[in-house]
């Protein structure tokens, strides 16, 4: 069953679901581009791992039962050990249970996938396509700074960079002058003009665009039908079986967009 939304499905941003969406979308982007760029170029998936420190809100969403809970007092168990004046205990006394159980905020390892277009003969990186994840966008985090350094490395190597930012939360990694407010963005930075970035601002109500993917020299851009990639990933993974469309999405929409989304769901979802 297809997604009920004309563009990005905001329910796919849920922290539990997004890692799978990220990898599935990357695979389908590669699948669409590979036949368009051959035989001069090849499309490959590059895997890397980064450490992330989820914020308390994400921990609560991902581990709702172990974030903070009160430890119940066992029936009949004394809260302290009572000693006889002679120094001998009159009998066994259980220790008091901890009044709180807290979730650790330890670092977690995140798998990230980049689609890379390489020149077939030289294996030179021509274009990198990044599907952004929360680890790339956490405000003030080392991982955000690491991703910005990665952007610089790609552009310094005279490769083009395409960034698919389909997450409403977080800081936008490209530091661009005059970037308008929007739910989602597509950024294209060309190798020959690394100081300029083409920007597609998108609302949750907008269909996903067909975007240009730059190649080398005089070779024309190839079109990436982003809507097709997301639709294929949605259908293949059966995300409609994992999403509860009867509840608001996580993170929440604005009040106006939530009213629109409910109307969209009523028109498209079966009874």
Give the pLDDT confidence of 158-181 residue by residue, as tens digits: 999 999 999 999 999 999 999 999
Does pLDDT of 193 surpass 60? Answer: yes
Tell me what pLDDT residue 89 has: 54
- Higher pLDDT among residues 86 and 30, named by residue: 30
Does residue 118 belong to any structural domain of this protein?
yes
Q: Locate tokens 């277009």: which residue?
A: 117
Total count of domains within the chain: 1
- Higher pLDDT among residues 141 and 55, named by residue: 141
Distance (Å, whole) CA 152 – CA 57 = 30
Task: Look at residues 35, 34, 8, 33 and name the one whose alpha carbon lies nearest to residue 22.
Answer: 8
- Please check whether residue 109 is in contact with residue 123, taking contact to mean a CB–CB distance below 8 angstroms: no
- Higher pLDDT among residues 114 and 143, named by residue: 114
Does residue 119 belong to any structural domain of this protein?
yes
Does residue 206 belong to any structural domain of this protein?
yes
* pTM of the predicted model as reported, rounded to 2 decimal places: 0.82
Quick: pLDDT tens for 72-100.
544 554 444 544 555 555 556 778 888 88
3-class SS of residue 244:
coil
Does residue 162 belong to any structural domain of this protein?
yes
Expressed as residue numbers, the domain containing 202 is 10-60+105-268
* CA–CA distances in Å: residue 111 to residues 1, 173, 186: 28, 18, 21
- Please check whether residue 109 is in contact with residue 49, taking contact to mean a CB–CB distance below 8 angstroms: yes
Tell me what pLDDT residue 268 has: 79
| Backbone φ, ψ for residue 94 (5° rounding) | -75, 145
């Amino acid at each position: 069953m297809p997604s009920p939304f004309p563009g990005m499905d905001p329910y796919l941003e849920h922290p539990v679901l997004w890692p799978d969406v990220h990898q599935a979308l990357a695979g389908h982007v590669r699948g669409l581009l590979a036949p368009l760029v051959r035989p001069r170029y090849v499309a490959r998936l590059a895997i890397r791992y980064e450490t992330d420190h989820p914020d308390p809100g994400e921990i609560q969403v991902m581990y709702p039962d172990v974030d903070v809970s009160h430890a119940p007092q066992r029936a009949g168990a004394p809260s302290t050990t009572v000693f006889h004046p002679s120094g001998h205990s009159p009998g066994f006394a259980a220790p008091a249970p901890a009044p709180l159980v807290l979730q650790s905020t330890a670092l977690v390892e995140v798998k990230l996938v980049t689609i890379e277009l390489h020149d077939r003969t030289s294996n030179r990186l021509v274009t990198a396509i990044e599907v952004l994840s929360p680890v790339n966008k956490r405000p003030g985090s080392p991982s955000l700074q690491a991703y910005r350094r990665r952007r610089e490395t790609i552009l310094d190597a005279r490769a083009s960079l395409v960034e698919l930012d389909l997450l409403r939360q977080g800081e936008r990694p490209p530091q661009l002058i005059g970037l308008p407010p929007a739910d989602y963005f597509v950024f294209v930075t060309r190798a020959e003009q690394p100081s300029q970035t083409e920007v597609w601002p998108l609302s949750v109500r907008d269909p996903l665009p067909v975007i240009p993917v730059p190649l080398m020299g005089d070779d024309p851009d190839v079109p990436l039908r982003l809507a097709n990639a997301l639709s294929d990933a949605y259908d293949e993974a059966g995300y409609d079986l994992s999403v509860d469309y009867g509840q608001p999405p996580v993170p929440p929409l604005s009040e106006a967009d939530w009213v629109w989304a409910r109307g969209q769901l009523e028109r498209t979802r079966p009874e």
